[in-house]
Structure 1
Amino acid sequence: MPILTELFYLPPIEYFALISGQGELCIDGTDRYQKQSYRNRARILLANKVDTLSIPVLRSSKKQFYKDVKIDYGQKWKNVHLRGIQSAYGKAPFYEYFFPYLEVVYAKNLTFLFDLNIELLTVCLKLLQSDTKIQVVSETLDTNEYHDTRGIINTKEDFTSRNIMTAYLYDQMFGVNFVPNLSILDLLFCKGPESKDVLNLSKKND
C-alpha cells in the first residue's frame, strides 16, 4: 500500500525512517500550508548549537494551498542557508560529494516552496540510494487506498512521542552529546552510503 505523507524542507531523519522500504511515496497535493511546521524549516548541528533554517514565504491567506505558497526572495535566506550548511558540514566526510547536488537545486531560484521541497526530496532519496518513487496526488483522496501518515510528524512534539524510530547513534561533526533527528543532511554528510543502513537500524518495527 502506498504511503501518503506531507512534504517537508530537507526533512528530519524520522521522515526517512518512516518511508524507508516504501516503493511509492504519495505527496498530498491538496494540502493547506501550515506555519511553524517542517514545510519550511530544517534543523542542522553547528559548533555551538542546533540551528533552525527557515525559508520565508509570501502568503495571501490562512487557508492557502501549499502548492501556491511562494518563496520570499526579498529576504537573503538562501545565502544564510547555504552558509549555515557549509559551516555545519563543510568538513564532514561526504560534504564535497553530496553538496553539489543540493547546490544545483538552490541555484534554480524556484518560485514555489512546494517545488523546491519536491526537488530537494528527490535529491535526498537519490543520495540515500533509495528506490522510492514520488507521486503528487491532487485528486480527491480515498485514504483507504493509502497508508496515511499525514499529521504524525510535527514540530511541537519530540520524535520520542511517536512510534517511528529510535535514535541510532552515529558520529556527528560537533558536540559530545549526540543530537537525534536532525535534518537528513546531518546523516548524509556524516555517513554517506551508510546512511541507508542507519535508517534501517533506526526504524521501529510496526
Structure 2
Amino acid sequence: MHTEATTALIDVSYLPRLEFFTAIVDQQKLVLDEDAMYQKQSIFNRTNILLANKVELLSIPVYGARKKQRYKEVKIDYNQKWLQVHLRGIRSAYGKAPFFEYFFPELEEEFLKKPAFLWDLNESLLTLCLKLSRINIPIEKKSVNTEDQDILDLRELTRERAEFADRKYYQPHAYPQLFGADFVPNLSIIDLLFCEGPSVKKILELSRKKIVNNL
C-alpha cells in the first residue's frame, strides 16, 4: 500500500516562489542535503517580484562557482551593489502593501547580517518566511540517501526549468496584488506575505493542484 511521504527533500533557494511553498505546506519535515552540488542556471540565487510596470528578476551574484562545487561553499559577491538594489526594489514593489510594515524589518535584518555563503542566506530567509507564513515545519540538515522511499524529492522545483503548469504542485489562486489588472502567478513568497499577511497559509493551500489518481 502506498503512503504519502511526510518528509520533503528540498534545495533552499532565494526567497522561494509560491510553487515551492504549495509543495511543502503539508509536509511534517524539510530536509536539506548538506552535500548538494551548486547548479548554475537554477533559481538557487534568483527570484521574482512585481513592480509597477514589470516582473523584476532579483539575482544574487556569486563568486565564480565551479562545476561540482558544493552548494554550501558558494560565496556571495558583496563587492557588487546587489544588496542595496534588492532592498530598494522590494521597498519600491511593496512599500504600500498592507503588511509591508509588519514584515519588512525582519526581512531587512536578515539581509543586513551579510552572511558570506549563499546557502546560509537562503536558509535564514526560508526560515523567516516559514515563520511569517505561520507554517511550522522543522528543517533538518544532513547528508541524504536519495533512495529513501519515505522522502519526497522536491529538488526539481529549483533545478529544472519546467513551467509550474507542467508540474503537479501549483495552481494559481488569485489574491489582490498592488499592480496590474491581471494576476501574476508564482512570484516570490514575499509578494503573498506583503499583500495578504495572516492569510498566506490558507492561500497556499488553495493554490495546491488537486491531483486525481487513476486507480
The letter of the residue matching 1:83 is R
* Per-residue CA distance 1:91-125 (angstroms, 9 max, x = gap): 00000000011111111110000000000000000
Which runs of 5 or more residues in structure 2 are unaligned?
Answer: 1-5
Aligned counterpart, 2:108: 103
**Measured at CA, do residues 79 and 96 of structure 1 come closer, stay the same or move farther in structure 2, by a change above 3 Å?**
same
**Measured at CA, do residues 154 and 171 of structure 1 come closer, stay the same or move farther in structure 2, by a change above 3 Å?**
farther
The alpha-carbon deviation at position 156 of structure 1 amounts to 2.4
Distance 1:176 1:151 in 2: 31
Matches within 5 A, 1:81-120: 81-120=86-125
Aligned: 1:132 with 2:137: yes
Give the number of aligned pairs: 206
Q: TM-score, normalised by structure 1?
A: 0.95
**Measured at CA, do residues 153 and 109 of structure 1 come closer, stay the same or move farther in structure 2, by a change above 3 Å?**
closer
Distance 2:65 2:138 in 1: 32
Deviates more, 1:114-123 or 1:146-155: 146-155
User: Of residues 197, 201, 211 in structure 2, which corresponds to 1:192?
Assistant: 197
Distance 1:53 1:187 in 2: 16
Aligned: 1:122 with 2:127: yes
* Per-residue CA distance 1:113-165 (angstroms, 9 max, x = gap): 00000000000000000111111122555432311122244562221111101
**Do 2:47 and 2:187's aligned partners in 1 also have CA atoms closer than 8 Å?**
yes
Aligned counterpart, 1:15: 20
Distance 1:202 1:141 in 2: 27
Q: CA RMSD of the aligned region, Å?
A: 1.4
Q: Helix, strand or coil for the counterpart of 1:96?
A: helix
**Do 1:168 and 1:202's aligned partners in 2 also have CA atoms closer than 8 Å?**
yes
Aligned counterpart, 1:201: 206
Q: TM-score, normalised by structure 2?
A: 0.92
**Measured at CA, do residues 182 and 136 of structure 1 come closer, stay the same or move farther in structure 2, by a change above 3 Å?**
same
Distance 2:100 2:160 in 1: 26
Distance 1:194 1:140 in 2: 36
The letter of the residue matching 2:209 is K
Which runs of 5 or more residues in structure 1 are unaligned?
Answer: none
